[in-house]
Structure 1
Amino acid sequence: MAFATNGETCVFYERMAAGDGPAVILLAGAGRPSTDFDGLFAAPLVAAGLVPIRVDNRDTGRSTALVDAVPDLPAIRAAALGNGDALPPYGIADMASDVLAVMDAEAIDRAHFIGRSIGGLIAQQLAVRHPDRVVSLSLIMAMSRSMADVIPDAALDRLMAENIADEAAYVERQIGVAQANAMAQDFDAERISAEARIAWRHGIHRGGTARHFAASLAAPDLRAALDAVRVPTLILHGRHDKVIPLARAAETAAAIPGATFEIDETMGHDGPPRLRAAWARRIAAHLAAADPNLHPKSHM
């Protein structure tokens, strides 16, 4: 466990394996700490000879949180649609710079990247602006531009009003999120509660999800620039994702030359254990195909 520094931002990260194998950097979704990438997810990557490094994006976990910055999400959404000039507290480029700080702190010249939701958007930003630092991309729940045109103001108002007082309230929130976004077959209140407690104790910060949404609403459209990306890319998306439309993932795949796009018919906008394990096995195979020095092993 360690910290990297990017200006006034401290970024927490953790190596999940010893050794000097190729680094694979794990970037979680909006408002979510790095604990979303657990041992179940890391095991197939480690077995393939990789060194997973999970990163707390700013405003999550043990990284710097800007709890006094309250974004006006409807105004930022309007600006992204061409009506106004409201800005988020920080942008996707700033979050990408945090990741570069981690790489520099660990003397990592190039890495594989696994990004979930906004984490994938950060990874794409790095591939576009710093192609020399990116070996491959694995994007789960992918988008490559602002979601301003598909997120209603009512949803943003709820995020701005959200005030999670304690662990019990966060557990209740996560159960509600799972009921809204997950597949019914994956709903397990006990499991969801346990994972929520792990996340809370690692670090859930007031307004963190709203600030991440602000950054994603103001995100640049990367599609044209992605045409220059020349790294092996895998995109995994759920047919039933209610947060990021399937069309957003499809256009991301179309924008990246040679990208592999796989649709999971049993996946929403959630990461239950069965999917975490499946994602990791598929990504390990993807990375092995990109690097003959890797040897993925069957991991149950």
Structure 2
Amino acid sequence: MAFAKNGSVCIHYERMAAGDGPPVILLAGAGRPSTDFDYGFCAPIVAEGFVPIRIDSRDTGRSTALIDTHPDLHAIKAAALGRGNTPPPYGIADMAADVLAVLDAEGIAAAHFVGRSIGGLVAQQIAIRNPGCVLGLALVMAMSRSMADAVPDAALDRLMAEDIPDEDAYVVRQLGVAQVNGVAGDFDAGRVAEEARTAWRHGIHRGGTARHFAASLAVPDLRPSLGAVRVPTLILHGRQDKVIPLERAIETAETIPGALIEVDETMGHDGPPRLRRLWGERIARHFAAVRTSI
């Protein structure tokens, strides 16, 4: 196992292929470990000669977890809307610094970045503050500002109250999430349960999703800075995404010069195997085109 240090935080990461091809950094969604980027997703990227490196964000997988920290999501949401000043336990900039620590540990000067949901916010933050580190961007389920104006209070209540004592309880939780966030035709209880058990055994931490959510609620509007980003960018989004509205992805694409957005009519806020495979294939072509144009 490989780890990088960012102050008191240890970040676990894993190379998904051997070789010295251009690295592709994989950043998962809120509360999710790096196992979401499975071999089905990575295979077409490896076939194009790239080396995927999947990272467990802090509070996921084998990275440092802040399990004794319990954010008040309502207060953080209010602060994001200009009412109060309650900060999150950590911000998107801190998570970006974690990723840069991995690059330093591996001696990587620049890489391609894939960010899913909150992972996309982290990737955008890196592109803004450390543009020389970024060769290409692929954002799946994209947003570029806080969802504080759109997230219902009931969702925050559920996150703050969430207590998942064991693997079986996490399976039940993920079955419910898949039914709400996904598309009915993709729902496969056996598949969802198997992936939930894989994630749990790799590392699901108490309150991790809430702390990630706190960071995303508090994120500043990145759009004023994204106009200066000159990185080939691909955005993949679903018209049926009930968590991040399509409009948020469109505005992100309109802000990054030259960004491409592709909308899947059959995609929600979920990543079943058929979509993971398609994402991997499309992202591999995108990064291959970037490599050709350099």
Both structures adopt the same fold (TM-score exceeding 0.5):
yes
Instruction: Report what 2:169 is aligned to.
Output: 169
Instruction: Report what 1:28 is aligned to.
Output: 28
2:211 alignment partner AA: R
Instruction: Report what 2:116 is aligned to.
Output: 116
Name the SS for the 2:236 alignment partner: strand
Instruction: Report what 1:297 is aligned to.
Output: none
2:154 alignment partner AA: A
Report how far residue 292 of structure 1 moved.
Answer: 1.8
Report how far residue 224 of structure 1 moved.
Answer: 1.0
Instruction: Report what 1:256 is aligned to.
Output: 256
Name the SS for the 2:143 alignment partner: coil
Q: C-alpha separation between the residues in 2 aligned to 1:112 and 1:87?
A: 30
Q: Deviations over 1:9-31 (max 9, x none)?
A: 00000000000000000000000
**Over aligned residues, Cα RMSD in angstroms?**
0.9
Q: C-alpha separation between the residues in 2 aligned to 1:189 and 1:174?
A: 10
Q: C-alpha separation between the residues in 2 aligned to 1:50 and 1:278?
A: 17
Report how far residue 180 of structure 1 moved.
Answer: 0.3
Instruction: Report what 2:156 is aligned to.
Output: 156
Q: Deviations over 1:39-73 (max 9, x none)?
A: 00010000000000000000000000000000000
Instruction: Report what 1:227 is aligned to.
Output: 227
Instruction: Report what 2:191 is aligned to.
Output: 191
Instruction: Report what 1:205 is aligned to.
Output: 205
Q: C-alpha separation between the residues in 2 aligned to 1:182 and 1:293?
A: 36
Spell out the pairing of 1:75-86 with structure 2 (5 A cutoff). 75-86=75-86
Q: C-alpha separation between the residues in 1 aligned to 2:226 and 2:40?
A: 31
Instruction: Report what 1:288 is aligned to.
Output: 288
Q: Deviations over 1:178-213 (max 9, x none)?
A: 000000000000000000000000000000000000
Instruction: Report what 1:243 is aligned to.
Output: 243
Q: C-alpha separation between the residues in 1 aligned to 2:178 and 2:249?
A: 21
TM-score by length of 2: 0.99
Structure 2 residues without counterparts, runs of 5 or longer: none
TM-score by length of 1: 0.97
2:160 alignment partner AA: M
2:11 alignment partner AA: V
Q: C-alpha separation between the residues in 2 aligned to 1:136 and 1:221?
A: 21
Report how far residue 293 of structure 1 moved.
Answer: 8.8
Aligned pair 1:19/2:19, yes or no?
Answer: yes
Spell out the pairing of 1:33-112 with structure 2 (5 A cutoff). 33-112=33-112
Instruction: Report what 1:6 is aligned to.
Output: 6
Q: C-alpha separation between the residues in 1 aligned to 2:268 and 2:148?
A: 20
Q: C-alpha separation between the residues in 1 aligned to 2:150 and 2:137?
A: 25
Report how far residue 123 of structure 1 moved.
Answer: 0.1
Give the number of equivalent residue pairs. Answer: 294
